[in-house]
Structures are given as C-alpha cells and as structure tokens.
Structure 1
Amino acid sequence: MTRTDHFHDPDAPQPNSIAIAVSAFVLNEAGDLLMIRRSDNDRYAIPGGQHELGETLSQTVVREVDEETGIAVEPTGVIGLYSNPAHVIAYDDGEVRQEFSICFRARPTGGRLRTSSESKEALWVPRSDVDNLNIHPSIQLRIRHGFEGRTEPFYT
C-alpha cells in the first residue's frame, strides 16, 4: 500500500481516521541512528508503526523495530508525543489518517540488520549523514529531538 504525506498542505484531503503509532530513536554504540527506507513512500525514517490490540506501547516498539529492521530493542524513555493535525497521511485504500505517534528512545539488545516488506533498506546512519537523506519533516523533528537528549518529552 502506498502513502502520501501531506504536511501543512491546504489541498490535503480531510482525515477520516486516527491510529496510535510509535516510532523508535535507536543509537548503536558508535552513535549511529537506526533507520529504514520505507517501501510505501521511499523516504528514510526511524522504524515504527501502528499499535495493535493486546499490546503495550513498549511491546509495539519492540515488535515494529524487529519487523522492520531485525534489531531487538529495549525502550528506555519517551522523546515525544506527535499529534500534528497539519500532518495528514493518505493511503491508496482511501484511509486518510491524522498523525498521532509516540516516539520512544530505545537501545539495541541484539538481532541482525535486515529489510522487510515495509523497509527497502535498513541501516545504521552516522549522525553526520542524517541530513543528506530524504526524510519527512515530521520524522526530522523526532530525530532532532532524539539527538537533543531532552529530559522532558516534547508534545504538540
């Protein structure tokens, strides 16, 4: 399924859903950021996805990072709560979702880097290279907040 992100776009379609989602800011020992290149929009992002019934939010983070990258993680904190109504995500099945995502800080605990049906590429990106990638502004904000090492979560 493809998606189109509308960000502060006056011509964006009206949202018809909202879903709980998570993302994970994961650094390895060298300080490189775990990222994927998404299959649905070809942009780079930190791993994450939709919360499922029967899971805790922490379990969602662990599952999503493993599914998209092959890396096992342990959530260690919350970077922020991102609920910008000016960020609308349109899917080709007709769903138009308002953004709502909780970004966690997590540490890698094992696994082997690999891709999935949701990720064309899974990689550790040196901090100096992050700005050279095609990243949506809402994900750039989470990454910036992650590198800032905030002690209090960001929220909108």
Structure 2
Amino acid sequence: MGGPHTVGRIEYYYDPQAPKPNSLVVACNLLVTDDSGAILLQRRRDTGQWALPGGAMDLGETVAQCALRECHEETGIIAQITGFLGIYSNPNHIIAYTDGEARQQYENTYIGTAVDGEPSINAEADGVAYVQPDELDQYDIHPSMRRQIDDFLSSTYPHLG
C-alpha cells in the first residue's frame, strides 16, 4: 500500500519538536459508508496515509458544503450527509507545510452515504477504496484520523468497538 509520494507536509503528533502553529484552519471531513458498512478512504499523495475525504473550508461555504465538496474532489463520490460525528480539535497535532505554514486545525466530521459517482484517483489522492472495518489495521492511517473512524465504529458497530 506504499509507493513514492511527494511530501509537502509533515504531521507532528504529541511531538515536542513540533513548530509553534502560525495558522488556525477549519477543516471538514465526510465519513461515507456503503451498504456493507465499508468506509470510504483516500490515500493522500502528500503523506501516503489513508484518510477520510476532507480538507480546509473555503470562504463562502458552510462546513457541510465543505465536507461534500472535499469528498467529491478527493474520491469522485457525490454524497449526502446523514449525520454528524463530531468536532475534533487537538493542539498537539501540528501540520507543517513546506511553505512555512504550521497549522493547527479543527475538523468538523460528518457522516454520509454515496448517491453517485465511482471511486477515482485525482491530484490529491492516489488511491480510493471502500474498506471494511475489520481491514482497517492493514492501512496506514494517522492516529488523529483513526480516532474519528473508531469513534464512528464504536457508536455504529458496538460489537467491533
């Protein structure tokens, strides 16, 4: 599941060497499941890690619109929102970019279902797949993202939690 990736960012997670943040960004994610309970993931080109589709909010859009837009842009899936998982904020998770930005972000994570489209790679994701909950450990998923997925699974699939 690896491969060559251009790293334009470094994620610091509870790391005392992390730079001090110089920006605060609102981000939105969408956790999409299919009829079998598999979760839609995309493999980020910048880190090589698997993640929920999501990204920074644009001016002029709501957080829900951002989650839907990011899902479509990163996976090819047009989705609808069916619920809200939560707001995730961790000042010990800093994302440093090659342009000097050191970002602290908070993520609004929605739950959704696909209504159209096919999983497809793009400029931001070099892999897109529906992953069964019992296969998640086979994927390189950042701990902050895995927490969101595990929160969803523990509330939706208590027998797996």
Match of 1:55 among 38, 61, 64: 61
Match of 1:153 in 2: none
Distance 1:99 1:147 in 2: 23
Match of 2:94 among 77, 82, 88: 88
Match of 2:51 in 1: 45
Tell me the CA shift for residue 107 of structure 1: 1.1
Runs of 5+ in structure 2 lacking a partner?
1-6, 157-161
Runs of 5+ in structure 1 lacking a partner?
151-156
The answer to whether the aligner puts 1:148 opposite 2:154 as a matched pair is yes
Distance 2:23 2:64 in 1: 23
Tell me the CA shift for residue 112 of structure 1: 1.2
Tell me the CA shift for residue 149 of structure 1: 2.5
Match of 1:124 in 2: 130
TM-score normalised by length of structure 1: 0.93
Match of 2:18 in 1: 12
Match of 1:106 among 106, 112, 124: 112
Tell me the CA shift for residue 32 of structure 1: 0.7
Distance 2:8 2:89 in 1: 21
Tell me the CA shift for residue 75 of structure 1: 1.2
Match of 1:73 among 75, 79, 87: 79
In the TM superposition, what whole-angstrom CA distance separates every residue of 1:49-94 from its partner, at most 9, and x where no partner exists? 0110111111111110000000011112211111100000001111
Indicate the RMSD between aligned Cα atoms, in angstroms.
Answer: 1.1
Match of 1:3 in 2: 9
Distance 1:145 1:110 in 2: 26
Percent identical residues: 37
The number of residue pairs the alignment matches comes to 150
Distance 1:76 1:19 in 2: 24
TM-score normalised by length of structure 2: 0.90
Letter in 2 for 1:102: N
Tell me the CA shift for residue 124 of structure 1: 0.7
Following TM superposition, the consecutive aligned residue runs of length 4 or more in structure 1 with deviations greater than 6 angstroms are none
